[in-house]
Amino acid sequence: MVEENTEDSLRIDDKVDYTYVNFSHVAANNWDVRISFGDKRTPEGKVQPLLGIIMSHQHAKAFLDVLKISIARLEERSGREIVYEWPEAPKPPYVGDSLRGPLEGKQRRVKAARRKG
């Protein structure tokens, strides 16, 4: 069960070891959802794995709902919106760039065959 902490809810805060994380990875398959947490160390950009959690799809969805409610209440109390900008996605390799795509060799052979024909 996922619960938002209220005065009436069971409090487990004092029975859990907490750690700060600034990196997470979520993976889902047909059976469950897996969330990995870590500490991304700069400037190398390497991640120190710290903890992994596995839960059912239903529990993950309930967790998401409670997290959304908790953040919305925090924003309401503080009077400020929490903003996060996704980093720019890496661009795929294109033929002609310094990075070569997997079809480059095939494209050369097709062009060469067209010139011969």
Inside any domain, residue 67:
yes
Buried b (16+ CB within 10 A) or exposed e, 37-59: bbeeeeeeeebeeeeeeeeeeee
| Domain harbouring 71, CATH code | 2.30.31
Inside any domain, residue 44:
yes
Q: Which pTM value belongs to this model?
A: 0.58
Inside any domain, residue 79:
yes
Inside any domain, residue 7:
no
Q: Under a CB-based contact definition with an 8 Å cutoff, are residues 100 and 93 in contact?
A: yes
Three-state DSSP class for residue 42: coil
Three-state DSSP class for residue 19: coil
C-alpha count within 13 angstroms, C-beta hemisphere, residue 102: 1
Which tens digit of pLDDT belongs to each residue from 24-61?
999 999 999 999 999 988 677 788 889 999 999 999 99
Residue type, 113: A
Inside any domain, residue 51:
yes
Inside any domain, residue 116:
no
> What does the alpha-carbon distance between residue 40 and residue 48 come to, in Å, rounded to a whole number?
6
**For the chain, how many structural domains are there in total?**
1
Which tens digit of pLDDT belongs to each residue from 59-101?
999 999 999 999 999 999 999 999 888 777 666 655 554 444 5
Inside any domain, residue 99:
no
Inside any domain, residue 114:
no
Domain assignment of residue 34, given as a range: 13-90
